[in-house]
Amino acid sequence: MNASVSAAGVGVRFLFDRENRVVTPTLARLRRRGPETWGLRDISFQIGPGEGVALIGASGSGKTTLLRTLASVLVPDEGRLEVSGRIGSLLSIEAGLLSTLTGRENALLIGVLAGVPLQTMRARLDDVRELSRLGDNFERPVSSFSQGMRARLGFAAAEQLDPDVLLLDEVHEAFDHEYREVVERQVAALLLRGGIVVAAGHDHPMLARLCDRGLLLEKGQLKASGPREEIVEAYLGR
């Protein structure tokens, strides 16, 4: 496994139309561009194999924007971002889940959309069921799932993508105590084999069990980087 993340001067800009709706640059020009804001600005850091990194900061500080940029959901408007390795992400509880499909059907869809061959993903469905601990619910529509059940399905499906880089955005906070132990074991195994985990959230004890480094974000800018406990202290004491 040769996972790595490198960001140099990364910036992500949000454009608005005159009604203050977020739009693409093309639509902004067509609709007479209104105000703009930078979701991220001048972000630089490096993450190497076997590192777990926690994104720390208040709501609106840029944590989700950074994770979406790492996942290639957003494209930087400036700077350079390089992510080496297969990415597995769980950026929201609803991400990639269709409520009318069963847990099994959703897991299959997530894998295929991520580029896993259909036959390969079919062979892994029992593993998804076991890891998600959904039991018979795995065969039922996701519309009947609680938030915790949806989060478990999403995590279990993401794990079957054999990620080198795993991105988690607060969704791990929806897990109950028992399933958090499952997540911690999976994350520890990923780090042990040289993978990378980047997690954001406000449950600092949970982040402490997943990550040893921290990045402190404030208003889209990187304010500090270092051992996770020092970054949490800096955030809480600011």
The pLDDT, as a whole number, for residue 197 is 95
Among the listed ranges 50-54, 107-111, 137-141, which one has the minimum average pLDDT value?
107-111
What are the tokens at 53?
A: 């990194």
* pLDDT over 80 (residue 1): no
User: Mean pLDDT across the stretch 25-49?
Assistant: 77
Distance of alpha carbon 103 from alpha carbon 80, whole angstroms: 37
CB atoms closer than 10 angstroms to residue 35: 10
CB atoms closer than 10 angstroms to residue 59: 8
Range 4-86+163-236 classified under CATH 3.40.50.300: yes
The domain spans of the chain are: 4-86+163-236
What are 153-210's pLDDT values in tens digits?
988 988 888 889 999 988 667 788 888 888 888 999 999 999 999 999 888 888 888 8
Counting Cα atoms < 13 Å in the Cβ hemisphere of 68 gives 14
The better pLDDT of the pair 158, 140 is held by 140
Band of pLDDT at residue 214, cut at 50, 70 and 90: very high
Which helix (H) or strand (E) segment holds residue 55: the answer is strand 52-56
Distance of alpha carbon 36 from alpha carbon 31, whole angstroms: 13
